[in-house]
Structure 1
Amino acid sequence: MNQASTAATPAAGKTRQPSPLSLFEFWPGWVFYTPVVLYWILMGLRHRDFSLPTAANPRIETGGLCGESKTSILDMAGDEARRWIAPYTTIVTGSTDDGRAARMALEQAGLSLPVVLKPDIGCNGTGVKLIESQDDLALTLDQYPRGIRLVLQRLIPFEHEAGVFYIRHPDEAQGRITSLTYKEAPVLVGDGRSTVRQLIDADARTRLVPHLYLPRLGERVHDILPTGEPLRLVFAGNHCKGSIFRNGADDITPALVEQIDRIMQDVPDFHFGRIDLKFESIAALRLGVGFEIIEINGVGSEATHIWDSRTTLREAYATQFLHYRETFRIGAKKKKAGWRTSGAFTMLRYWRLQRRLLASYPLND
């Protein structure tokens, strides 16, 4: 019997057993993204505007490329879209008692623990924390720098998580879903004899990337899990933090497309990005029901099915190029309609802000 398993999200209708990692899955970012950057430059030269994608979602800072506020996007949602978004509130660190400020904000928003605590400006799950008690809340708030806006969002009760990539051109009546990715947390299962570190080393996938899990486990790596006891290795549903991604393209149905399109058309001038959500079951998701939205990401987001270990390098770059080509095309249409692009210097300023903030956040759960 395997000593590790994943959360029970079924993958799309694939019969071939996936290999533990793809060829490029954990290449250094500068290696994998160099062709993507070169393609961006090529498109910028062709359109005579390197920041053209920032106009694709013109009401969001940099179109959501980098440095944007998560809640500023969610706050734009109309009545129809809002009822699909998990309730949230925010605080700014630096008060005399951040814990008390957080409790008051939760009370005013009608929220109670458990909640997910995360930076309002963030990326790749950095700084995301699960808060289950008042003691957790007070201790965790102290780990963030002062003057940072934090989001407290109701913990969605559904087990499964997905990323849905949505595109709608301004001259199209209906948008489309170009990617559906299931996100699974690796779960160790105790055998009553092995330590957590030994279980990690015994699993075909986790033993190849132990550095993703060991820092957050701390001294727990020496614990021996009782027989049958599970240990989820990561909470944040992000590939670079250790979650496993599966291509769910087979489960993109007309009903799901219609529902996502209805929601996203209720977010003003949103045309390109990924919706991260949690859902009850694949059967419900295929019907366009039984899900709640965690957050909405703009032009800096990816079609994350490329991180499925079955994806080839050629398929991954084809997907990247297709999506960035689309965001340039949409940005050109929005610019022609009178919207302005951010400009290269503004993009750089927001990128540097995001990079500085990410370096200051605590390790995610």
Structure 2
Amino acid sequence: MIYFFAGFRFVAKQSPSDLYGETARMTLQTPRMKGNPMFRWHYINSKYMYIGIQLMSTALALSKGLTPSQIICANPSLPYGGLSIASKTKILERFNTRKQFLHQQLIPRDMHLVDRKALARSFLETNTYPIIAKPDRGVVGIGVRKIDSENDLNDILNIMPSDYMLQQYCDYPLEYGIFFCKFPDEPRGTVVSLTQKIAPFVFGDGRHNVQQLVQINPDFKYNKDALLSHARNLDYIPKKGAWYQVIIQGSHTYGSIFKDRNDQINKQLESWLNELCAVDDEFYFGRFDMKVKDQEALKSGSGVKIIELNGCWSEPIHIYDDRHSLLFAFKELFLSYARAYHIAKLNKRRLQLKASFKELLAAYRDYLQEKEQIMRVVG
């Protein structure tokens, strides 16, 4: 019998649910779309799409009497409103008192190597291998490494071209992106997007290595090069009948599959998220990326570990489900940015906030240079 798991076709006597539990079972419910290019739009070079998004964002800002840079007023308490140019560590510090957040430690680039190693050792006194190392600023998993040993740690500490964050590793099997939105004049917020992230796997045959399994799989046709450029252990040959996770990044750019789970949004989920966000009464708009123990944990918030928080320019990533067309994506993005600018307008009026375009532009240029260095040095 032919099954679908994470978009891969394979022949097996066992159910994929037996092989990989809850993640496989949920993936089987919604196989990937084929044929119509309107449902493969997110594999096209994203710079063309973001030209349209930028024009749309500018029009929305002007319609609210704002400039595009004033979107950062949507989250007054977060640096740069939580944009990708902001420090992940500083954003997460706002929520450190909450048990749902993973432990993290900033390792500054301008710190002497000896001091970097001392800071890393201090972090490992309360956390054990494996851990995650990632740039303190950035998106889509660029420069992220899983650190399994002291040698791995020394490698990244020696070459890191920017400030890096060390983060506790979580092996919960499920991963989600949950978009939270709260208007300043309302007592509670709502979940406007719930998306399951499923990392790309290959199915071992005992003969081909990881690179070969990726290359021969037709489902990697549109993101094969990006996936291979960020994969590790490409020469490893998975055992016959064994699943092997190709990358750790939960990014659709590198082959992760995103599934729209908006039908699972409920009052119980919104309740614990409102309680979580209450620690920062000036946070209104953003997406929490998290690992989840099981479905019940998602409802209650008890078995959840939050990886990071993306602020006012983040996307409702359910749009990347293969069932959704480009037109659907633009409609959802329009609604999302309309919410952001509405919140920004209310906050700007209420708090007399200012957003310097010159300062934002300088920070963005610095971020782009940093991003190029990370891609060149770390990959």
| Pairwise same-fold verdict (TM > 0.5) | yes
**C-alpha displacement of 1:151:** 1.2
2:261 corresponds in structure 1 to: 248
Secondary structure of the residue that 1:188 maps to in structure 2? strand
Q: Give the drift of 1:11.
A: 7.7
Query: Compared with structure 1, are the counterparts of its residues 77 and 103 closer, same or farther at alpha carbon in structure 2 (3 Å cutoff)?
Result: closer
Following the alignment from structure 2 to structure 1, what is the Cα–Cα distance between the partners of residues 27 and 234? 35
Question: Do residues 128 (structure 1) and 144 (structure 2) align?
Answer: yes
Matched, 1:65 2:78: no
Q: Match of 2:289, as an amino acid? A: D
1:241-282: CA deviation from partner (whole Å, max 9, x where unpaired):
221111111211110111111101212300000001100112
Match of 2:157 in 1: 141
Matching residue of 1:338: 351
Q: CA deviation at 1:167?
A: 0.3
Contact persistence 1:277–1:295 (CA under 8 A): yes
Tell me if the contact between 1:256 and 1:286 (Cα under 8 Å) persists in the aligned partners.
yes
Query: 1:287, 1:53 → 2: CA distance?
Result: 31
Give the counterpart of 1:84 among 97, 100, 104.
100
- Between 328-337 and 221-230, report the one with greater CA deviation: 221-230
- The answer to whether the Cα contact below 8 Å between 2:107 and 2:120 also exists between their aligned partners in 1 is no
Give the counterpart of 1:39 among 32, 56, 62.
Answer: 56
Describe the SS at the equivalent of 1:97. helix
Aligned CA distance change for structure 1 residues 3 and 103 (closer, same or farther; 3 Å) = farther
- Cα separation, 2, equivalents of 1:74 and 1:114: 21
Q: Which moved more, 1:164-173 or 1:201-210?
A: 201-210
> What is the TM-score normalised by the length of structure 1?
0.90
Other structure's SS at 2:120 match:
helix
**How far 1:98 sits from its partner (Å)?**
5.5
**Separation in structure 2 between the aligned mates of residue 180 and residue 228 of structure 1, nearest angstrom:** 31
1:199 aligns with 2:216: no
User: 1:305 aligned to 2:318?
Assistant: yes
Cα distance change on mapping 1:113 and 1:155 into 2, 3 Å: same
Separation of aligned partners in 1, 2:25 and 2:284: 27
Residue 40 (structure 2) aligns with? 23
Write the letter of the residue equivalent to 2:90: S
User: For residues 2 and 226 of structure 1, do their structure 2 counterparts lie closer, same or farther at Cα, with a shift above 3 Å needed?
Assistant: farther
**Which string of whole-angstrom CA distances, capped at 9 and with x for unpartnered residues, describes residues 285-329 of structure 1?**
133331111111101211111111111112101110001000110
- 1:13-55 deviations in whole A, cap 9, x for unaligned? 9955321582311122232122221111112222332122110
**Which whole-Å CA distance do the structure 2 matches of 1:60 and 1:350 have between them?**
15
How many residues were matched structurally?
359
Structure 1 residues 171 and 217, CA, compared in 2 at 3 Å: closer, same or farther?
closer
2:79–2:91 CA contact under 8 A, matched in 1: no
Name the structure, 1 or 2, with higher relative contact order (CA <8 Å, separation 6+).
1
Which residue identity does 1:275 align to in structure 2?
F
Q: Say whether the 8 Å CA contact 2:129–2:148 is kept in structure 1.
A: yes
Please list, as runs of the form range in 1=range in 2, the aligned pairs for 1:133-282 lying within 5 A after superposition: 133-145=149-161, 148-217=162-231, 221=234, 224-282=237-295
Tell which deviates more after alignment, 240-249 or 95-104: 95-104
CA distance in 2, matches of 1:44, 1:70: 25
1:283 and 2:300 equivalent? no
- Counterpart code for 1:246: K
Can you give the 5+ residue segments of structure 1 that lack an aligned partner in the other structure?
A: none
Q: Which residue of 1 aligns with 2:73?
A: 55
What secondary structure is seen at the aligned counterpart in 1 of 2:314? coil
1:130 maps to amino acid: K
TM-superposed deviation, 1:179: 0.4
- Cα pair distance change 1:16/1:113, threshold 3 Å: closer
Q: Which amino acid aligns with 2:348?
A: K
Instruction: Give the deviation of 1:230 after TM superposition.
Output: 2.8
Q: Return closer, same or farther for 1:17/1:228 CA change in 2, 3 Å cut-off.
A: closer
Moved more, 151-160 or 1-10: 1-10
Once the two structures are TM-superposed, the CA of residue 223 in structure 1 deviates from its matched residue by: 5.0
2:95·2:279 contact (CA, 8 Å) conserved in 1?
Answer: yes
CA 1:68–1:2: 2 relative to 1, 3 Å: farther
| Stretch moving more, 31-40 or 321-330 | 31-40
Residues 129-148 of structure 1: CA deviation (Å, up to 9, x unaligned)? 11111111001222212xx3
Out of 93, 97, 113, the position equivalent to 2:129 is 113
Whole-angstrom distance in 1 between the partners of 2:378 and 2:289: 17
- Check conservation: 2:66, 2:345, Cα contact below 8 A: no
1:348–1:149 distance in 2 versus 1, CA, 3 Å: same
| 2:17 equivalent in structure 1 | none
Secondary structure at 1:208 match in 2: coil
Change (3 A) 1:192 1:154: same
Distance in 2 between residues matched to 1:226 and 1:198, nearest whole Å: 14
Identical-residue share of aligned pairs (%): 28
* Per-residue deviation, 1:193: 2.9
Cα RMSD (Å) of the superposition?
A: 2.5
